[in-house]
Each structure stands twice: as structure tokens, then as C-alpha cells.
Amino acid sequence: MQNINYLPGVGPKKAELLKQELKIASYEDLLYYFPYKYIDRSKFYSIREVNTKLPYIQVKGRFTSLNTVGTGRQSRMTATFTDGTGVLELVWFKGHKFVKESINSEAEYIVFGKPSAFNGQINIVHPELEKINEAQVKISSALQAFYNTTEKMKKGFLNSKAIQKLQQNVFLSFQGKIPETLPAGIIEKYKFLNLHESLKAIHFPPNSHQLEKAQLRLKFEELFYIQLNILRQKNQRTKAIKGYVFPKVGEFLNAFYSQKLPFELTNAQKRVIKEIRRDMGSGKQMNRLLQGDVGSGKTLVALMVMLIALDNSFQACLMAPTEILATQHFETISEMLDGLNIKVALLTGSSKKKERQMIDEDLQSGELQILIGTHALLEDKVVFNNLGLVVIDEQHRFGVAQRAKLWRKNSQPPHILVMTATPIPRTLAMTIYGDLEVSVIDELPPGRKPIETAHYFHNRRNNLNKFINQELEKGRQVYVVYPLIEESEKMDFKNLAEGYEYMQRVFPNYKVSMVHGKMRPAEKDEAMQEFASNQSQILVSTTVIEVGVNVPNASVMVIESAERFGLSQLHQLRGRVGRGADQSFCILMTGYKLSDETRKRMEIMTRSTDGFEIAEADLKLRGPGDLEGTQQSGLPFALKIANLGKDGQILQFARQVAEAILDSDPLLEKEENYLLNKQLKKLAREKMNWSMIS
Ligand code: ADP
Ligand code: MG
């Protein structure tokens, strides 16, 4: 790890900038600072061919005149440049004094930039200039790499071009080759470029084919080591940790199934329950992620598998991210278990002291069989008699550390089932939750009509109101959601409050409730309850109703300022309607001015109701860092080159290779795998908080 200070061209100031701005402290860090784009500089245009439709171009020629126009801050310089086929105007608004002084009118130059037009004359504003003899980079490349830099760096003369020069200096200062980080066996078998060639081609691609090969090798390597690490940990865990064995299905589940089950299970529900049963009977500790779109019936699955725990004389708990949701689960489940002689309790932050005491006692004696609640379940004073299964609803709201707390509630960890309605694309699941098994409910209960979604600009508010009125007259209920991303944002709050008053004014014959995050839990519950029991017909709220809430009679979801929501969140919100038998609607309200990306988001929402399709689209549009649900649980490391939205196939392949290696050498003890072991240790030390991947 050669210190970056020693690199020719890097003085103390630049070294400091590199460290501060890009965390580049060594030659190696610099080599792994990859370009974000490439521009083909093998082609020269004749000035005659240049037009404004072309992207970045380069021409070769000489200056014929330099004119400064105006004075002081308003001044600019225009230069005429010719190659004999035509004349091009070059314009500088800033820094032209320096440019003017440095231009040699005898010399031949390469001019590089984006052509535009002004007053009918084609020009290039602030082009890059290179004198021909200077332009010969020592390492030749047809594609020029471009690097992200910051404003601070640019002020310190570290622009993209300067980074490129530094990359060149690294290669020129190298004696021999950059040491390989993948075993020779893998490189041979899959015909990868070696590391030295790959890094060189990433920074100085001789052609696009070589660039692709370099990218493939580096992406593979990045994803491969992540998978290798996850899979090895999983192997070790399954070896080290035993799981409770739940061999039987007994009276509780049977009684529920024959007496209480309100409908036929969907095939997907049946399959998923089977998968979970198999896990819980295997002797291994279950760690399973249950994905199912909103409304797919996850609660019922949770209940039935909790009953299996009870049948084997264990306790079970169900944890939800909000009080509203926990309460709703408690009510639904209590009702479904009514008459079966099963003891269920609700524990939240607002449980009364006396209640708590009773819960604590019954929990420790084992009399209390199912405990439902919020984060309050995690507190140390909550002690179970024999907790066998933990179900976590809407898991992305809980951090990994919190989950680990539940693990430790027993001498032996309970089985864990995490449920989420935020469909995580396979590629992402394999990376973040790579050591969880995944079950998917890919089928909605029969009879659901797909929700109709429309995108309205604000000027159609009257139409919207007319439509809402029609639905209210039919006896339906309506949600109106406002963004309140930062609960402290005054503006957002004002919008919400105004929206509430507006709805009261426009619909005087109906009752309007309001829910937001700043209300006390009791107030919130009361307002929610009002809406759930149809005492109020319109609910104006923030995204606190985003997860889980179930009011089947609500058939309209209006999302205000929809442009401020991500795709997954829009889909979640929309999932609050369409839960009954009636045709439901979602209306996305936005202003006129929308970015291309936002337009795409609205377009996808109006076209698709498939959560997985939407999640994939989200991943492609925004990249995994922003993806709803991964922000909180956090992709614990940044990928340098692979892109989970686009490189799913490489990821799949990397996982297969890692699996095959671990199959034949679980502890990576073989001679040929020495490098793998070394590399994993190094990565763990350096940057990746591997333990975060649970
Ligand atoms: P989610 O997966 O979003 O948590 P829920 O568990 O809240 O979904 O279920 C949504 C609705 O579908 C509930 O009203 C539930 O009673 C109903 N439901 C669940 N399973 C079935 C089924 N197999 N047939 C019909 N309705 C079902
Ligand atoms: Mg749910």
C-alpha cells in the first residue's frame, strides 16, 4: 500500500485533497477510483462536418484570431479556429486571460468539447485545449476516461484530466505487475483478464472490447467476494447454531384450520407455509425472508406458523414497526383465534403499567403464548419462558442490530421469519440478505380487482373532487396522503394542515380525520380508529399509514405531490386500497414541472401494479443506495463498479462460482484457495463491515 504522497505529481496539497475529498490515501485507492464515463477520442472531425447534433467532438487545427470583448466580470474571449475545412468559434467566459496568454498562434492544437450554436454560428464554449506535441499521452487509449471530482478539487487543480495523469503516473512507476487478487484457477477457467491488465484497461482502454472485458472481471470480482463471504458465514452459522425442532402439527393449528380459517388459502400461501414448516423441522435455525406484495396475505401465514410453534409447546411473538400496525395485528389475530383458548397479548410503548406487569408474569410462566407488539418487545425486561419463533413484519424498518437483540432472548436462538411487502429484487436480496432463505407469495387472494391508477396535474383538481364525491356517495372511503419526509419540515406540515381544511370545506357532508407523526400515539390511534370504523370517510395523513394498515372499505388513494415519493413508497401507499371487493383507484397528483425520471416513475405506476416489476424499475432508475427499504437496513458497503440494477447476471454467476468453491472447500483451506482467504480477510479489515450483513 504505497502512500499517495510518493506519487509523482502529488504534492502535500493534492495528497490532502485526495484524502479529504475521495478518501484516496494510497496508490491502490487511486487505481480503484474508477472512471464514470468514457469518450471516444480516436476520431477527429473536420470542422466542415461539425454540427450541433454531435456529442463531444475533437478537431485539430490552429488559432487565427483571439478577441476579448467587454471588460471586467462581463468580459469574454472569442477565438477563431480553423483546420482548413472551415472555421469554428471558441468561447470563454471565465479564465480567458490565462488561456489567452498560454495560446501559441504558431502551434497546432486539439480542441475538444460539445458543439452548440449562437447567432447561427457554431461554437464550443470552454473547450479543452491541448497542444499537439503535449497531447501524446504516454499510455495510449482510444477512449478517454472521465473521473468525478469535487468543486474543492477543481480549485486545487485536480480535475478529471489531472486524475487521469495521476493514474498514468501510477502505471509508469510500477515495476512489474499489480499483484493478482483472484486465484489462477478462476482466471483460467473463465478466461478473465488478469488484474494488471484489467486496471490498466479501465483507466486507459485501448478499445471498447478490452474495456468490457476489464469491467466484467472487476465487477465479477467485487460481487464474488461479497457472495463468498456471505455464503461462508452462512455455512459457519448453520454449523454452529442449532435450531429448535418443531416436528408436529397439533391441535392449535388443526383447530384453527378446521374451525376458523375464513377462506381457502392461496396456493402461494400453502407453498410458503410448507417451506417454513420444513425449516422449523430441520434442526437448523430458520432465518427466512418472506416477501409478498401488499395484500397478499402475509399476516395469515404468520399466524399459522406461530400456531405450529405453539403446537410444539413454544411461545411466539410478532413484532411490527408502528403502534397502529401492532394494534391492528393484535385485533385481527385475537379475532381469528377467538374461542380457541389461546392467550394473546399486545405490548407497546403505551401499554399501561399494570398491563405490563401481567404480561411480564404470564410471559415468564409461559401462560402467554403469543405476544404482539412494537419495539417494546426488544427491551431487556421482556423475558420469555421459551420463545420458539419470532415474526418480524415490514422488516426494513428494523435495523440489523435490533434483530440481533431478539436472537439473544434465548439460550438458543429462536426461528426468525421476517416479512416484507417491499419487494426486494432478487439481485439485491442476494446481496443484502444473502444468507437468509427467501420465500415469495407471488399470488393475490382471488377476486381482487387491480387498482386503477391515474396521474393528474394540479389543474384537474375539480375533476378529482367530483370523482371523490362519487365514491363517497357509493359509501366508500378516501385516503389523501401528503409527503412529510422530515417530520419537522414546517412547509410540509402546513400543506397537510391546509389539505385537511380544504377537504373539510369541499366535502362538508362527510367527516374528515387527520393523522401525522407528531400526534401522540393515543390521538393517532383515535383518528385511525375513526376511519377504520367508518365514522370518518376521509383520512388526510402523512406516510404514517404507509405500512400494513387495513381498511377494506377505502377505495380511493390520493397521493399529493406524488413527485416527492419514490416508486416503492408509491406502491406501498397504493396498497392501502384495493383490499376489499370494490374497484379501487389511486390518483397521483403532481405539478407540471417534472424531471424525466419523475415522469418515468408516474408512467410505471399507472402501467403496473406488480410490486416486483416496480421494485426492479426502481432499482434501475435510482440505484440500490436509494432504494426504499435498503436505506435503513443499509447496503453496508458501496459498490465501486458493479451495479445491482444492471449486473444481475454477473451477480448470479459470481454466486454460483462462490457456491461451487465452498462446496468443495467449506473453510477455504486448500492451497489453491489461499488467495481467497487472504483477500476476504483484507476486505473485512479495510472497508466492509461484513458483520452488518445479517
Ligand atoms: P399483507 O400481505 O399486505 O400483510 P394481509 O395479511 O393484511 O396482507 O391480508 C390482506 C387481506 O387479505 C386481509 O383482509 C386478509 O384477511 C385477506 N386474505 C388473506 N389471505 C386470504 C385468502 N387466502 N383469501 C382471501 N382473502 C385473504
Ligand atoms: Mg401486512
Can you give the pLDDT at residue 623?
60
Domain encompassing residue 61: 4-173
Same domain, 423 and 466: no
Give the residue whose CA is nearest to atom 18 of ligand 1.
297
Domain boundary among 134, 152, 173: 173
Same domain, 461 and 332: no
Domain-embedded: residue 684:
no
Ligand 2 centre from 530 Cα, in Å?
Answer: 20
Report the percent of the chain where pLDDT is more than 70: 91
Domain boundary among 112, 143, 173: 173
Kindly report, residue by residue over 104-123, the tens digit of the pLDDT.
888 899 898 999 988 888 89
Amino acid at residue number 585 = F
Kindly report, residue by residue over 456-500, the tens digit of the pLDDT.
999 999 999 999 999 999 999 999 999 875 555 677 778 889 999
Find the helix packing angle between 195-203 and 208-240, rounded to 10°: 130
Give the residue whose CA is nearest to atom 17 of ligand 1.
297
Domain-embedded: residue 311:
yes
Same domain, 544 and 603: yes
Q: Are 230 and 403 in contact (CB under 8 A)?
A: no
Same domain, 494 and 403: no
Can you give the pLDDT at residue 308?
97
Can you give the pLDDT at residue 479?
97
299 lines ligand 1 (CB under 6 A): yes
Domain-embedded: residue 124:
yes
Same domain, 487 and 421: no
Domain-embedded: residue 346:
yes
C-alpha cell at 160: 478529471
Mean pLDDT of 515-539: 88
Residue 566's CATH number: 3.40.50.300
pTM as predicted: 0.69
Q: How far apart are the C-alpha atoms of 319 and 336, rounded to whole Å?
A: 18
Kindly report, residue by residue over 475-485, the tens digit of the pLDDT.
999 999 998 75
C-alpha cell at 62: 490552429
Q: How far apart are the C-alpha atoms of 450 and 443, rounded to whole Å?
A: 12
**Residue 143 pLDDT > 80, yes or no?**
yes
- Buried-state track 477-504, b at ≥16 Cβ within 10 A, e below 16: bbbbbbbbeeeeeeebbebbeebbebbe
C-alpha cell at 328: 391492528
Q: Are 661 and 679 in contact (CB under 8 A)?
A: no
Domain boundary among 581, 608, 635: 608
Show Cβ contacts of residue 40 under 8 Å, excluding neighbours closer than 6 positions.
Answer: 142, 143, 144
266 lines ligand 1 (CB under 6 A): yes
Can you give the pLDDT at residue 689?
46
571 lines ligand 1 (CB under 6 A): no
Kindly report, residue by residue over 373-423, the tens digit of the pLDDT.
988 898 888 999 999 999 998 765 555 555 666 666 667 889 999 898 777
Ligand 1 centre from 125 Cα, in Å?
Answer: 60
Mean pLDDT of 192-211: 94
Same domain, 167 and 281: no
How many domains would you assign to the chain? 3
Residue 634 pLDDT grade (very low, low, confident, very high; cuts 50, 70, 90): very low
Show Cβ contacts of residue 405 under 8 Å, excluding neighbours closer than 6 positions.
Answer: 378
550 lines ligand 1 (CB under 6 A): yes
- The enclosing H or E element of 137 equals none
Helices then strands, each counted (H, E), the chain: 25, 22
Same domain, 91 and 51: yes
Give the residue whose CA is nearest to atom 15 of ligand 1.
297
Instruction: Classify residue 332 by burial, with Cβ atoms within 10 Å: 0-12, 13-18, 19+.
Output: middle
Q: What is the mean pLDDT of the chain?
A: 87
Kindly report, residue by residue over 318-357, the tens digit of the pLDDT.
998 878 789 889 999 999 999 999 999 999 988 899 999 9
**Residue 450 pLDDT > 50, yes or no?**
yes
630 lines ligand 1 (CB under 6 A): no
Can you give the pLDDT at residue 137?
52
Same domain, 428 and 459: no
C-alpha cell at 116: 452548440
The 10 Å Cβ neighbour count of residue 363 is 22
Same domain, 473 and 436: no
Can you give the pLDDT at residue 94?
84
Q: How far apart are the C-alpha atoms of 345 and 336, rounded to whole Å?
A: 14
